[in-house]
Amino acid sequence: MLCFLDGQPSLRLLSKEGKARAGLGVFEGGPQLVFYDEKGRNRGGIVLPADGDPALTFWGREGEASAQLFLQDGEPRLGLMDTDGKCRAWLRLRGGEPELVLCGAEGNSGAWLTGKPTLLLGGREEARALLGVIEG
C-alpha cells in the first residue's frame, strides 16, 4: 500500500489480514525501513538520516527502544536500554579507543572501562575510584 505519513511518501507491506508488517519511507530526510509485529507495534528498524549516520534499532514488546546500533561521528556505538527506555550500557569507540559504559537506573555512569586500560567508577564528572596503568 502506498501512502503518505507526515507528508512523506511511504510504502507499507500488509499481511493477508491487512495489518502493516513492514514499511519503507523517508525519515529526517533519509530512507527508513521499519518492521512491525502482529499487533502493529514497531519492533525493528533501519534509518539513514540526511546527516548520514545510520542506525539499527530494536523495540521491546511495549514499544520502548531496547537496543540500538548506530554510528556517531563515523564511530560505531551499541546501546542497551531498560524497559523505561533509559540507556543502561554502551559499547563504543571514541577516538578509535574502545569504551564500555554501565549506567545506573538514573542514567548516570556507574562504571567506565576504556582500552587505555582504565576503569573508572562513578562516572567522568563524579569519579569515586580510578584504576589505570601508569605509562612510562
In whole angstroms, give the CA distance from residue 101 to residue 93: 11
Mean pLDDT in the chain?
86
Q: Minimal CA–CA distance to 45: which of 36, 53, 56, 61?
A: 56
Residue of higher predicted confidence among 25 and 107: 25
DSSP 8-state symbol, 50: T
Tell me the per-residue pLDDT of 46-88, one tens digit each, with 9 for 90 and over.
999 887 889 999 998 888 889 999 998 889 999 999 888 888 9
Whole-model pTM?
0.79
Task: Output the CA torsion 61→67→122→131 (10° steps).
Answer: 140
Question: Which whole number is the average pLDDT over 33-37?
Answer: 94
DSSP 8-state symbol, 49: -
Q: What are phi and psi of 38, to 5 degrees?
A: -65, -15
